[in-house]
Amino acid sequence: MIMGSGIKAAPSIFAADFYSIGDAVAQIKKSGADGVHYDVMDNHFVPNISFGPKFIGDVASKCGLYGDAHLMIDLSRGIEPYLPLPVELITIHIEAYGDNPLSKPDRMIELLGSIRAAGKNAGISIKPATPADAVVPYLDKIDLVLVMSVEPGFSGQKFMPASLDKIRRIRELIGARQISVQVDGGVSRDNYKSLIGAGADFLVIGSAFFNDADPTGWMRDIHENA
């Protein structure tokens, strides 16, 4: 279980205005959010580029919240630059090993082991087209499953409702194991309660957080659902 029991929320800093990144971090801290979600994009696994280890190191070392690095990168080049970062969770995509999606569970398990050996929580993520049951080979090696509810690569996309059934199925597969279920993409005031009802216990919120008139009130509502 990540950060103990209860529902957690981490704003995605990728959705902030990078001109005022310090203000965005202060806004996240003030809101009472549990963590900061860092979206790393490499223009190979996803068609966009965000930021890399230096940005995460600079922000995470000073902000003092649970750091959650979501690596949307081709894993065939390794994840070494990310292992020493001052974050508590590193999540990798099971589809992201070279040009052979889903074909390298042994190598994925090695990478998950290296995340835990670095003293961090280890997460796996699945894209919208990847079936829930693809997480099965990893369930005894992870602390979190991240269900992508949009195609990874951009903030501000529309939530895909099929994610709700996927979350339910992943909860069934997890059974009694202490594994968090995180959801990322299009999470909003309109859908967050149904996501928690389906079994998500960790919400990533991008544009909806930074566009909200009262993010502190929203974070309070999320925690009161716990």
Question: Which residues of the chain form contacts with Zn ion (CB under 5 A)?
Answer: 39, 70, 184
- CA 145 vs. chain centroid, Å, equals 8
199 makes contact, choosing from Zn ion, ligand DX5, none, with CB < 5 to 8 Å by partner type, with none
Evaluated on CA atoms 48, 134, 83, 97, the torsion sign reads negative
- Measure the CA–CA gap between 4 and 86, rounded to whole angstroms: 19
Interface characters, 56-85, with ligand DX5 (x: CB under 6 A): --------------x-x-------------
By CB under 6 A, residue 156 contacts ligand DX5: yes
Residue 39 a catalytic site member? yes
Residue 74 a catalytic site member? no
**DSSP character for 49?**
B
Half-sphere exposure of 124 (CA within 13 A, CB side): 28
CB closer to ligand DX5 out of 76 and 157: 157
Evaluated on CA atoms 63, 66, 71, 72, the torsion sign reads negative
Catalytic residue among 34, 143, 184, 201: 184
Nearest residue to Zn ion on Cβ basis: 70
> CB 128: neighbour CB atoms within 10 A?
15
CB closer to ligand DX5 out of 39 and 95: 39
121 makes contact, choosing from ligand DX5, Zn ion, none, with CB < 5 to 8 Å by partner type, with none
Catalytic residues: 39, 184
